[in-house]
Amino acid sequence: MPYCSSVSKLAGYEDAEVEETSSDINGNSVSIEFHINRNCVECGYEASTYDGSGDADFDHTCPVDHECDDDFDHDVDEVGFTLNSVDLEVGDQMRTTDRHGKPIKSYRYQRREYHVIGCASIDCDHCGETFDADLGTLDTVAASSFESESH
């Protein structure tokens, strides 16, 4: 926990928030860079931050009734997509298994970690359909990996 000079003591955090810093689409893969912050619960200062990135593949099948040149190859690599927007959410949980996958029984040794979940709105350049792609968990980061700042 960082030291907060407005209350002259160590202060906890508000719930984590995440924002997209950049995103890109390449074939049927979306890559996203994001910024997580945890604000000081006493004064609102952005006291703890983490910058990360993740990527995920999505699937799309053009609807059967779209207008189309019959010999067009509908392989997902040929179709082409445009990224409209990205929605990110951050959640946290206690890590209950160690790095060998064994359960950690004592609460004292469990560690908090954060995960970023993504969803993207995408246009198919071929059939024109706009669809939402669930990108799943883009990254999982231990709370100890955050940069924390006394202020």
What are the residues binding Zn ion (CB under 5 A)? 4, 40, 42-43, 45, 62, 68, 72, 124, 126-127, 129
Q: Which residue has the tokens 């407005």?
A: 6
Q: Which of 38, 48, 53 is nearest to 118 (CA)?
A: 53
- Closer of 51 and 129 to Zn ion (Cβ): 129
Nearer to Zn ion, 120 or 138 (CB): 120
Residue 41 Cβ, how far from Zn ion at the closest point, in Å?
A: 8
DSSP helix/strand/coil, 138: strand
Could you tell me the smallest distance in angstroms from the CB atom of residue 110 to Zn ion?
26
Angle at CA of residue 64, ends 59 and 70, nearest 5°: 100
Whichever of 89 and 129 has its CB closer to Zn ion, that residue is: 129
- Taking the complex as a whole, how short is the minimal distance between the CB of residue 75 and Zn ion, in angstroms? 11
CA distance 104 to 95: 8
Q: What is the DSSP string of 84-133?
A: EEEEEEEEEEEE-B-TTS-B--SGGG-EEEEEEEEEEEEEETTT--EEEE
CB closer to Zn ion out of 43 and 94: 43
Give min distance, CB of 25 to Zn ion, in A.
14
